[in-house]
A and B are shown apart, each in its own frame.
Chain A
Amino acid sequence: MTSVAPTAPILAEIEAHQRRARQRFRAQSASVWVVLIGGLGIALWATGNINADFIGTWGPFIVEGAWITILLSVTSIIFATGLAILGAIGRLSDNAFINGAASLYVSLVRGTPLLVQIFFVYYALPQFGVALPSIPAGIIALSFNYGAYMTEIFRAGIQAVPRGQREAAESLGMPERLVMRRIVLPQAFRIVIPAIGNDFVAMIKDSALVSTIAVQELLWRASKIGTRHFRTLETLLIAAVVYWLLTIVFSYFQEKLERRMAQGDR
């Protein structure tokens, strides 16, 4: 068998061909987006049900609700990350009490609907004397919920740190807590950051549920204004487009982050 080593020009040609094919594919897929969105827009417009004046008047007020949506999502993801670290350490703990408590937290939260948790924090906690205003109540419910889902992410992240790292640190005489803080968690963090970004994008959408406890975010504004002026089509469209743009923007950053984090693994 004689293997024929391809000459450099042929290789370059093949690469160029593949690049062109990729670019063509991307351009085609992008034009499908443009055509579909344009078509959808024109179709909606053609129904004559879209009132441009109304959108001009009320659009800004509804869109401003996005700041509250972002505030809720950012604050909640920070608290959720804290809860998730504690939860993951608990889930991996050798102490049966801590382990049991952490797994009960995860099971309880993952086994009940987010909407029930939101109502519980807002309507039921006051019976124990804890009456939270709507925004803090929403943040607590969202953090609590996402903390449980992210506990599993962090647990997997911690377990994915090679055992040798921990053993090496221990053999240098590092105490267990320090090993966790200095060696394991920083590496686990790098592994889970893309997943946190993913959850953040999901959180933006789930934050719409707190409109039910009078938080004046995007959906609350859209539904109140829509009902009052009988223009729910416009207001829900505005809300949907804003949610969509928010997730597109944050997904873009999340993908960049993911690529950057992956570079370290090479």
Chain B
Amino acid sequence: MLNLRRRAPLLLAAGALVLASCTSTANVPAVVCVGAATTYLDWLNGDFEPDSPADITEPSDTTGDLLEIVRDRGELIVSTDPNYAPQSFLEPDGDFVGFDIDVATEIADRLGVGITFETPDWDAITAGSWSERWDISVGSMTITTPRKEILSFTRPYYFTPAYLAASTRSGVTKTSDLPFTLPTGAEATTLTTDANCAEAIESGRTEFDLWISSGTTIDGAIAAGSPMVKIGEPIFQENLAVAIDKSGPPHAALLFEIDKIIGEMHADGTLRAMSEEWFDGEDLTTDPSS
């Protein structure tokens, strides 16, 4: 039945194809890995619209506001993705640590309530409709025009540059090494979260050699042993803010309070100290555009 001799040419051809596809990965494939529902994906697709928060005013009536719900509960529930070092990650005893975690804890402290963390996937946070499972996101979220339609943002609590990173095996060390121009020349492939891209490159997968993420996250991955280098100048700046779901209960008072607290944390140096602690002495809390 299985006539190997007759099928030999076919098998040879298939083998050659496999070989050819393997050798072609020696060149850098025009694929960039990004986390799902990130601004990096928007940028690659040409629809990144950075924005600033809407005007925040103190409401006269706070009855039924999320602020009251949080104070009655005595606890602020914050969403975080613990796969986003050094902003948020897990300790061996199961505690969350990182820059975002410290900022969130300080906000809860100044609101006079305790804190607990929920760990939904990132795309569930940016999609809105949180169904009151958590109150706020302190998750390094960039303010964009489409996100502003479903989420309310405070003023930014810090600013990070977005960078391109390339695996060391690709040999790419500067933007001009790329055989195509970004963003138009490349196609995006998404994994659940930014860290999965670094993980895929580190584990030896060869579908892509390029990754776009926050400079801090790329530094974190390199520090954790991922074989890659940061390429060129920052691609764009991100202003990162606390977000609240618009489909939830009224939250004008909570937004105003947290925005005020962030202003105070900027003014009294708390945020700068936290930034220097988590980002290798770097102060990322001043707006580079101002």
Contact = CB atoms under 8 A, between A and B. Distances in A.
Interface in A189-217: 212, 214, 216
Interface residues of B, number: 27
B224 A227 contact: no
A100 interface: no
Interface stretch (B117-125, B145-153, B172-180, B230-238): B117-125
Nearest to A126: B131
Interface string A107-134: 0000000000000000100110001010
Nearest to A59: B92
A182 B82 CA distance: 52
A240 B239 CA distance: 41
Nearest to A224: B83
B199 A230 contact: yes
Interface string A18-61: 00000000000000000000000000000000000000011011
Given A216-B119, A229-B224, A61 B132 contact: no
Given A214-B120, A216-B119, A228 B224 contact: yes
B279 interface: no
A230 B83 contact: no
A99 interface: no
Contacts, number: 49
Contacts of A61: 90, 92-94
B290 interface: no
A64 B90 CA distance: 14
A58 B89 CA distance: 13
Contact of B129 (A126, A226, A227, A228): A126
A251 interface: no
Given A214-B119, A232-B199, A224 B131 contact: no
A98 interface: no
Interface in A116-155: 123, 126-127, 131, 133
A149 B197 CA distance: 38
B254 interface: no
B196 interface: yes
A232 B225 CA distance: 13
A58 B91 CA distance: 9
Interface string B99-124: 00000000000000000001111001
Given A64-B94, A126-B131, A131-B131, A228 B119 contact: no
Contacts of B41: none
B138 interface: no
Contacts of A60: 92
A61 B131 CA distance: 29
A227 B121 contact: no
A214 B134 CA distance: 13
A225 interface: yes
A224 B199 contact: no
Nearest to B193: A227
A61 B95 CA distance: 10
Interface in A54-103: 57-58, 60-61, 64
Given A126-B129, A225-B90, A230-B203, 16 more contacts: A58-B92, A64-B94, A123-B124, A131-B133, A214-B121, A216-B119, A224-B82, A224-B83, A226-B199, A227-B199, A228-B82, A228-B85, A228-B224, A229-B224, A230-B198, A230-B224
30 contacts: A57-B92, A61-B90, A61-B92, A61-B93, A61-B94, A64-B94, A123-B124, A126-B131, A131-B131, A131-B133, A133-B133, A212-B121, A214-B118, A214-B119, A214-B120, A214-B121, A216-B119, A224-B83, A226-B199, A227-B83, A227-B193, A227-B195, A227-B199, A228-B82, A228-B83, A228-B89, A229-B224, A230-B225, A230-B226, A232-B199
| The 7 residue pairs across chains A and B that have the minimum distance between CB atoms | A131-B131, A126-B131, A230-B202, A227-B199, A214-B119, A227-B195, A214-B120
Interface of B: 82-83, 85, 89-90, 92-94, 118-121, 124, 129, 131-133, 193, 195-196, 198-199, 202-203, 224-226
